[in-house]
Structure 1
Amino acid sequence: MSRDDSKKGNKASGRQGGNFRKKSYARGNAPIKKNTSSKQFSDPDSIRLNKYVSNSGVCSRRDADIYIAAGSVTVNGKPITEMGYKVKLTDEVKFDGQLLNPVKKEYVLLNKPKDFTTSIRDEKGKRHVSGLISSASKSKLLPVDKLDKEDVGLLLFTNDGDLTKRLKSPINGLRKIFHLVLDKDLRSADLKKIQEGVLVDEKIVKVQDISYITDAPKREVGIEIYSSRGKIVQRLFEQLDYKIIKLDRVVYGGLTKKDLPRGHWRYLTEQEIINLKMIK
């Protein structure tokens, strides 16, 4: 891993100029990409049936028309085949007997800055990451996992409970890459210990890769790990008597910080969502 790569996000941020630095993170920044997926129903009382089915995540709106015409969709127990049929949000809509939820699932990636908490609790005087993505959706989006207040890097938000549950405890762990700054140089002997596996809470922690950052002091390292254990990276280094001064999560489950300056957010692409849903 190179030092230049690890600082790409900060360089991108710097190109925004003085105006970017003056913006308040508490109000949330503009998205990197515009996407109409965050729009809610224009009519609060009714919605076209094909959009209702599409929003539930069953299929695209075009495919929904096909299923509706085939009689696969029922409203309040009755098959509906009429194109353009509108339903109320209080109606019971089923697809092949399965009850649907019309709230569109949304996915937002934030490059978290320092000094923002991810705790669900309302801590007085604390700046919360939810404020940074407040303009992304009218739905309540929650972070899939946590980063400490001092930590920076990638944080995924969604209202997709199934995906959140899957990412929190995948069978083979979730791929994450961190750029770390330690309180002292990492001894080569300890680097080798980490490569071979370190015992933390009676379980061996194995990393996919660990290396010194190119052209940087030996207290800066990059580490790739597949794990869903809470604060496992911090606990790993504590076991070897090191303290992490800075933690930057640069890769999360295949998502990267590319073109995403610190403090900014973007919507996931359709392909990125598909890739995450393939994680078991």
Structure 2
Amino acid sequence: MRLNQYLARCGLGSRRKVEALIVTGRVKLNGLVVSDLGCRVEEGDHVEVDGCSVHPLDKIYIVMNKPRGVVCAVEDRRYRTVLDLLPPQIRALRPFPVGRLDKESQGLLILTNDGDFCDAILHPRRGIIKTYEVTVDRDVPSESLDRLKGGVWSDGEILEPLMVSLMGPRTVRVDIQEGKKREVRRMMAALGFKVLSLLRRRIGKMELRRLRAGGICLFSVDDIWHHINVGGIV
């Protein structure tokens, strides 16, 4: 298989991330540094990253209700990460977050060690919609909702949700697809609101209802795609 696919199956990240490892000279094949993205790994070949041997791992697919106060990272010097919430036997399979929720946000998060699955989830062609419930510091008037529907200007770009609706006087449901950094928080800040809580309720048609904060569910690849594409409660 191609070297980038092999590294992704070793749990080193998406293909885009492992390609960066290759082009920066951190990967060796049979003792020689390789920088060719088209390089292939044959049976019996020895692959190293940063001097450590790597091997394909059993694939794992995790859905977590990420709590507030933890970061979506594999490691962090200052804060607890989502990996710190996993049992040691699962951490040993080297999962990583698919996309991000910022430290103070909570809700649905997928973790996996399958780089191809990660790429498929994040690629725009899949059109996977994420649904957020955001509570702000004061009532949201209809004029603000109308402005949000038309898109708002933030940090040199337009942020435009797919759909917005009012769930309560101070709680707004926001559907987005692109997933730009801190997108929902930036939308509300552009309208002059302070976000009090932000929950990702849905990824595709998979909906968070049962999992406690910090809880996880394990899936097969077919089951997790079924939850995302057809529907399922976690």
Give the TM-score, by structure 1 length: 0.56
Aligned counterpart, 1:129: 82
Please say if 1:140 is aligned against 2:94. yes
In the alignment, is residue 118 of structure 1 matched against residue 118 of structure 2? no
Q: In the TM superposition, what are the counterparts of 1:13-92 in structure 2 within 5 Å?
A: none
Question: Aligned residue for 1:265?
Answer: 216
Q: What is the correspondence of 1:194-213 to structure 2 with a 5 Å cutoff?
A: 194-213=148-167
What do the CA deviations read for 1:22-70 (whole angstroms, capped 9, x no partner)? Answer: xxxxxxxxxxxxxxxxxxxxxxxxxxxxxxxxx99xxxxxxxxxxxxxx
Counterpart selection for 2:200 from 238, 243, 249: 249
Identity fraction in percent: 27
- Given that 1:170 and 1:228 are in contact with CA atoms closer than 8 Å, whether structure 2 keeps it comes out as no
> Whole-Å Cα distance in 2 between the matches of residues 230 and 276 of structure 1?
22
Q: Distance in 2 between matches of 1:117 and 1:132?
A: 11
CA distance in 1: counterparts of 2:193 and 2:216, whole angstroms: 32
Q: Does 1:184 align with 2:138?
A: yes
Report the 3-state secondary structure (helix = DSSP H, G, I; strand = E; otherwise coil) of the residue aligned with 1:272. Answer: helix
Residue 130 of structure 1: how far off its partner (Å): 0.6
1:68-110 deviation digits (Å, cap 9, x = unpaired): xxxxxxxxxxxxxxxxxxxxx9579xxxxxxxx7522211000
What is the CA deviation profile of residues 112-149 of structure 1, one whole-angstrom value per residue up to 9, with x for unaligned ones? 1122122344224x222112123562300011122222
CA displacement at 1:274 relative to structure 2 = 6.1
Q: Which has the larger radius of gyration?
A: 1
In the superposition, relative to structure 1, how do residues 257 and 136 fare at CA in structure 2: closer, same or farther (>3 Å)?
A: farther
Q: Distance in 2 between matches of 1:145 and 1:169?
A: 11
Offset from partner CA, 1:143-167 (integer Å, 9 cap, x none): 1122222211011100111222333
Structure 2 gap segments, 5+ residues each: 1-8, 11-42, 47-54, 230-234
The AA in structure 1 aligned to 2:84 is: G
Letter in 1 for 2:110: L
Structure 1 unaligned regions, length at least 5: 1-54, 57-88, 93-100
RMSD: 3.0
Q: What is the CA–CA distance in structure 2 between the aligned matches of 1:261 and 1:119, rounded to whole Å?
A: 20
Kindly tell me the number of residue pairs found equivalent between the two proteins. Answer: 180
* Structure having greater relative contact order (Cα 8 Å, sep ≥ 6): 1
Contact 2:62 2:217 in 1 (8 A): yes
